Amino acid sequence: MASLGKNLPQVALLLGVFGIGAALPLLTLAYVSRLALLKARGKLLRAGKIGKTILGAAMVTVAALILFGVDKSVEAWVVKHLPTRLMNLTTRF
């Protein structure tokens, strides 16, 4: 209808209703998620702090393994005990 230039007020009303219908669930979701995040903010901050500490320790451990050459032994052990189909899947591409 709009491409033909006919019933333009009706087309404008239809597009306006469609826009409101599309925006309303998004606005509702944004409001609800904001409230949920504010409620869980303290827990998320604590989890982030703990997660950073764990990630840092893991990085230092991996760096030490690489520095002392232990990573090669770990890799050899993993390759030896990995199922054949998983090895084929991970080395195929």
pLDDT in tens, 15-60: 999 999 999 999 999 999 998 999 999 999 999 999 999 999 999 9
**In the predicted model, is pLDDT for residue 5 greater than 80?**
no
> Could you give the angle at which helices 41-67 and 8-39 cross, rounded to 10 degrees?
70
Give first-to-last CA distance, the chain, whole Å.
51
Q: Angle CA(66)–CA(79)–CA(52) in degrees, nearest 5?
A: 45
Please give the pLDDT value at position 1: 60
